Chains A and B, each alone.
Chain A
Amino acid sequence: EAQVTQNPRYLITVTGKKLTVTCSQNMNHEYMSWYRQDPGLGLRQIYYSMNVEVTDKGDVPEGYKVSRKEKRNFPLILESPSPNQTSLYFCASSHIAGGSTDTQYFGPGTRLTVL
Chain B
Amino acid sequence: AQKVTQAQTEISVVEKEDVTLDCVYETRDTTYYLFWYKQPPSGELVFLIRRNSFDEQNEISGRYSWNFQKSTSSFNFTITASQVVDSAVYFCALFSGGSNYKLTFGKGTLLTVNP
Contact = CB atoms under 8 A, between A and B. Distances in A.
Decide whether A and B are members of one complex: yes
Greatest chain A CB density within 10 A among B35, B50, B100, B101 is at B101
Interface of B: 6, 31, 33, 35, 37, 43-45, 47, 50, 52, 91, 93, 95, 97-98, 100-108
A52 to B, nearest CB: 15
A74 to B, nearest CB: 14
Contacts of A98: 97
Interface stretch (A14-22, A64-72, A77-85, A101-109): A101-109
Contact of A100 (B31, B35, B104): B31
- Judged by DSSP, the binding face of A is strand
Contact of B101 (A35, A40, A44, A48): A48
Contacts of B33: 100-101
Given A58-B102, A101-B97, A108-B44, 17 more contacts: A33-B103, A35-B103, A42-B91, A42-B106, A42-B107, A42-B108, A45-B104, A48-B100, A48-B102, A59-B102, A90-B45, A96-B101, A99-B31, A99-B98, A103-B35, A104-B47, A108-B43
Interface residues of A, number: 29
Nearest to A33: B103
Interface of A: 31, 33, 35, 40-45, 48, 50, 56, 58-59, 88, 90, 92, 96, 98-106, 108-109
